[in-house]
Amino acid sequence: MAYVAIADRDHEEHLHDPQTFITKYIWSQDHKVIAIQYSLIAIFVGVVALVLSGMMRLQLAFPDSFDFIVPADYYQFITMHGMIMVIYLLTALFLGGFGNYLIPLMVGSRDMVFPFMNMLSVWVYLLSVIILLASFFVTGGPTGAGWTLYPPQAILEGTPGATNSGTSWGILLMLVSLAVFIVAFTMGGLNYVTTVLQARCNGMTLMRMPLSVWGIFIATILGLLAFPALLVSAIMMALDSLIGTSFFMPAILEAGEQTEYGGGSPVLFQHLFWFFGHPEVYIVALPAFGLVSDILACHARKNIFGYRQMVWAIVAIGGLSFIVWAHHMYVSGMNPYFGFFFATTTLIIAVPTAIKVYNWILTLYQGNIHLRVPMLFCIGFIFTFIHGGLTGLFLGNVVVDLPLSDTYFVVGHFHMVMGVSPVLVVFAAIYHWYPKISGKMYNETLGKWHFWLTFLGTYSIYLPMHYLGILGLPRRYYSYGDTAFIPDSAQSMNVGITYAALIVAVVQILFFINMFWSTFKGKKSEPNPWGATTLEWQTEKHPPEHGNWGDSLPVVYRWAYDYSVPGEDRDFIPQNEPAAGHAEGFDPENPHDGPHHA
């Protein structure tokens, strides 16, 4: 089919022009400001969750030493810690933060397609965070049902946060906050997807998009299709709790008394939750995969190895992630025959993921590796991700999951793969794009200290946890009491883990100091300090202003990875640079040259 020209839509965009401080920085419709608002809110709640994890570790290392951590508190802490980290920190930061900042810049668009809705998204997100945090201040406190919120437990007495009389505000606020978050996410997510699909600049084909955009794009689609399951289960649970329907509630006792419930299915909730929950873990993994690919290529001065496979791997992982959910339910009491199917699909995911890992490493091979801070974080990511991914294979193989499910092995797995790897990527990305966002350079030495302590610290937190899990320590235990098979050495290990965790938590101060100090006192940065090829580094102004591109949109002539092209003096060619000799033309010999629809 021939290429049909589409009228340049530039004239149609009503870019909302910021006038005052308020419209510029508060009610801003500029995707870059929105991105920063998203990120700041996310990092703020992230720090809350980090503090909670510190308290959890204190309890685990020194049981019975802290009056302010009784069992109810502990379970409330893990619930809020898990939920905040997964949803309100990582999902929001990767999609709302990096997605907002990078998508329009990387695909060469002036803004998101619906800036007003984008602005609403961040404020609704803030609302959801406020509702969530409000649950710390209601009677009974936040819910302590675990971040999985399994009913019947979540809405019955005996669960921290559930009060014996009147409304259990903890669980209710959690459900409402999630619903509000989903609304915020949907408004943002529709924007990201539509922008990627419909608002790229001339020459920017899908297969020329940087992998960051691919990762965020597919993750957003996963979100748009997976969050509905969470929304529905939240609605059903809220009805069970408030007006006494029995969707998830069979005939049961509550605190020794018969209840009115009957006929519902607790396993239904688990199916719905994990139909959301498993894609959710890839929602936080895929953007990390994307960002890390771009940062690696840039600092290794080498094209990402196997770009096409990388794209297809992202798409395949995204697709497969919808048919593996029940690997979280191997021991849930569902029909055990499902185990065969879900174990197979789960292990199949290892193949596209493995391709990604190989390609990252092969990108380093024969590269010209600059070990700057972002690069260090990326290497740390590869290492911890391999570790965490491989432990995932234990859990995915249904019989191996039998002894390990619900033990610290699982906790080790998911922190390695989600609590460490993507967080390392977050840091890599913040350092990498910091010059673009702020116009200043960060402090390299501080950054290196931050990397070393965080990387080594987190690895020493989570490596031992796997072995405690193999020994049989169950997760979500306030304390272990006297258990014959648990030797004292396990408790000593827990103390060690706690020290590591506290150190890592404190070390994050270095990061914040670095960011703050550099914003005001940092060296001014070049417009393209890393010599990167992607469009965001080629803006007219540095940092880019509202509207991104000045008078005219960029035109893209090549893929995003023209690093160290043979015969070129520089070791990179920006995407918007026509190849020498073919100014506007298209060289059929060179697949990376020229807008192919010219």
Residues that bind ligand HEA (CB under 6 A): 43, 46-47, 50, 53, 56-57, 60, 78-79, 81-82, 85-86, 90, 146-148, 281, 284-285, 327-328, 346, 349-350, 353-354, 357, 386, 389-390, 392-393, 395-396, 401, 405, 410-411, 413-415, 417-419, 422-423, 426, 454, 458, 461, 475-477, 501, 504-505, 508, 511
The separation between CA 177 and the C-alpha centre of its own chain, rounded to angstroms, equals 18
Q: What part of residues 519-558 is at the interface with another protein (CB under 8 A)?
A: 556, 558
Q: Quick check: 62 binds another protein (CB under 8 A)?
A: no
Q: What part of residues 67-106 is at the interface with another protein (CB under 8 A)?
A: 67, 70-72, 75
Q: Quick check: 64 binds another protein (CB under 8 A)?
A: yes
Q: What is the rounded CA–CA span in Å between residue 369 and residue 348?
A: 32
Q: What is the rounded CA–CA span in Å between residue 241 and residue 513?
A: 45
**Widest pairwise Cα distance in the chain:** 84
Q: Which span (142-150, 278-286, 393-401, 490-498) binds Cu ion, by CB under 5 A?
A: 278-286
Q: Which span (191-199, 277-285, 301-309, 337-345) binds Cu ion, by CB under 5 A?
A: 277-285
Q: Which span (169-177, 281-289, 350-358, 525-533) binds another protein, by CB under 8 A?
A: 350-358
Q: What is the rounded CA–CA span in Å between residue 46 and residue 283?
A: 17
Q: Quick check: 397 binds another protein (CB under 8 A)?
A: yes
Structure tokens at 248: 């998830």
Q: Which does 137 bind (CB under 5 to 8 A by kind): another protein, Cu ion, ligand HEA, none?
A: none
How many CB atoms are closer than 10 A to CB 402? 11
* Residue from 203, 215, 435, 544 in contact with another protein (CB under 8 A): 203
Q: What is the rounded CA–CA span in Å between residue 412 and residue 408?
A: 6
Q: Quick check: 558 binds Cu ion (CB under 5 A)?
A: no
Q: Which does 75 bind (CB under 5 to 8 A by kind): Cu ion, ligand HEA, another protein, none?
A: another protein
SS (H, E, C) 408-474: HHHHHHHHHHHHHHHHHHHHHHHHHHHHHHHCECCCHHHHHHHHHHHHHHHHHHHHHHHHHHHHCCE
Which of residues 231 and 424 has its CB atom nearest to ligand HEA in the complex?
424
List of residues 6+ apart from 546 with CB closer than 8 A: 15, 17, 18, 30, 32
Q: What is the rounded CA–CA span in Å between residue 104 and residue 216?
A: 12
Instruction: Indicate the burial class of 29 (C-beta count within 10 angstroms; 0-12, 13-18, 19 or more).
Output: buried
Q: Which does 200 bind (CB under 5 to 8 A by kind): Cu ion, ligand HEA, another protein, none?
A: another protein
Q: What is the rounded CA–CA span in Å between residue 507 and residue 49?
A: 15
Q: Which does 147 bind (CB under 5 to 8 A by kind): another protein, Cu ion, ligand HEA, none?
A: ligand HEA
Name the 3-class secondary structure at 571: coil
Q: What part of residues 134-173 is at the interface with another protein (CB under 8 A)?
A: 144-146, 148, 150, 152-153, 156-160, 164-165
Structure tokens at 230: 């969470």
* Stretch 484-523: interaction string toward another protein, x if CB under 8 A: xx-x-xx--x------------------------------
Q: What is the rounded CA–CA span in Å between residue 362 and residue 533?
A: 19
Which of residues 156 and 418 has its CB atom nearest to ligand HEA in the complex?
418
Q: Which span (274-282, 488-496, 499-507, 573-581) binds Cu ion, by CB under 5 A?
A: 274-282
* Stretch 219-258: interaction string toward Cu ion, x if CB under 5 A: ----------------------------------------
Quote the least distance from Cβ 339 to ligand HEA, whole Å.
10
Q: Which does 441 bind (CB under 5 to 8 A by kind): ligand HEA, another protein, Cu ion, none?
A: none
Nearest alpha-carbon partner for 94 in 293, 285, 322: 285
Q: What is the rounded CA–CA span in Å between residue 330 and residue 402?
A: 8
Which of residues 36 and 169 has its CB atom nearest to another protein in the complex?
169
Which of residues 227 and 305 has its CB atom nearest to Cu ion in the complex?
227
Structure tokens at 65: 């030493």
CA Rg, the chain, in Å?
A: 25
Quote the least distance from Cβ 524 to another protein, whole Å.
24
Determine the length of the chain.
Answer: 598
* Residue from 35, 272, 288, 411 in contact with another protein (CB under 8 A): 272
580: left (phi over 0), alpha (psi -120 to 50) or beta: beta
* Stretch 281-310: interaction string toward another protein, x if CB under 8 A: -------------------xxxx-xxxxx-
Which of residues 224 and 355 has its CB atom nearest to ligand HEA in the complex?
355
Q: Quick check: 199 binds another protein (CB under 8 A)?
A: yes
> Rounded to whole angstroms, what are the CA distances from 361 to 291, 312, 319, 383, 533?
15, 18, 24, 10, 20
Residue 111: CA count within 13 A, CB half-sphere = 25
Which position has the token pair 């192919």?
596
